[in-house]
Amino acid sequence: MSIFKNKPIITGSEFSKGFTLLELILVIMILGIMAVGISGFITLSTQTYLNATNRDGLVSNARFVIERLNRELRNAVPNSIRIGTNSTNTIQCIEFVPIVASTVYIDIPVSPEPASKIVKAIEFQNESNQPYECDGCQDLLMVYPLNPNDIYEDHNDSVGKVFSIDEVDDTKDPWEISIRNNNEVMFSENSPTNRLYIANKQIKYCAFINKIYRYSNSIGGNLTVPGRSRPVLMAEHMIDVTSGELPFTYLPGTLTRNAVVQIHLNFTRNDENYVFDHEVHINNVP
């Protein structure tokens, strides 16, 4: 009896159903090459997307601060804009006083009239388009400021162009605005257009350490660089002021043209530079 009885006979064709070592190596090499190519494509696509996102963010950042500054400067009290730098020219600030309300006055105490604490004005609204109210507020009344010193100087003198408001009597016609002062007051001069402005804070934008910050303080005092209050970050990734490119230039108004603020912002990120130049025309209607 044969010992191979009832055992299957394996033919050569059945041996050939598997993979040889060479075939496995070739497959692994092909898959590796494909993986490298696909990963490189994915990496390139991801980097392109990140660069585009960073670029859009940088442009949006610049547009935001320019639009915000443009809007606030256009609403500034005429001749309230001033620019300053620190002693090493590494920080530059632009400061101004936003208008809370404005109107036309009927009568103010100005020479040769006697001193008084009452200003008569046409009824007016605040920045929210609501009837103006001031009961113990900290607002200031300004008439015909011709330079920043008229606005930022001491408001407690009995003669000047800026005085603190005590209250507004809107039951009278015209309205009567009471001045808060220990003595009767006298305005330095009349406005050619009888224009009266009301404000309560000074705003400052400072560029330093590759960023732009916004400050808000009560009105008065010398221009401090940077500001005294807690800053709010408005933009970043700027080229440092120490590079010699100052971001703000102010051209005061004249009899033939409005005041102009020139804004020059240079941003950089990922070895790409973006320069934004903008001019803001300030209405010269004191």
Q: Is the pLDDT of residue 5 over 70?
A: no
Choice among 34-38, 81-85, 248-252 with the minimum mean pLDDT:
34-38
Q: Between these two residues, 24 and 119, which has the higher pLDDT value? A: 119
Q: Where are the domains of the chain?
A: 54-96+201-282, 101-199
Choice among 5-9, 39-43, 137-141, 191-195 with the minimum mean pLDDT:
5-9
- pLDDT for 243 equals 63
Which amino acid does the sequence have at 227?
A: G
What secondary structure, in 3-state letters, does the chain show?
A: CCCCCCCCCCCHHHHCCCCCHHHHHHHHHHHHHHHHHHHHHHHHHHHHHHHHHHHHHHHHHHHHHHHHHHHHHHCECCCCCEEEECCCCCCEEEEECECCEEEEEEECCECCCCCECEEEECCCECCCCCECCCECCCCEEECCCCCHHHHHCCCCCCEECEEEEEEEECCCCCEEEEECCCCCEEECCCCCCCEEEEECCEEEEEEECCEEEEEEECCCCCCCCCCCCCCEEEEECECCHHHCCCCEEEECCCCCCCEEEEEEEEEEECCEEEEEEEEEEECCCC
The pTM score is 0.80
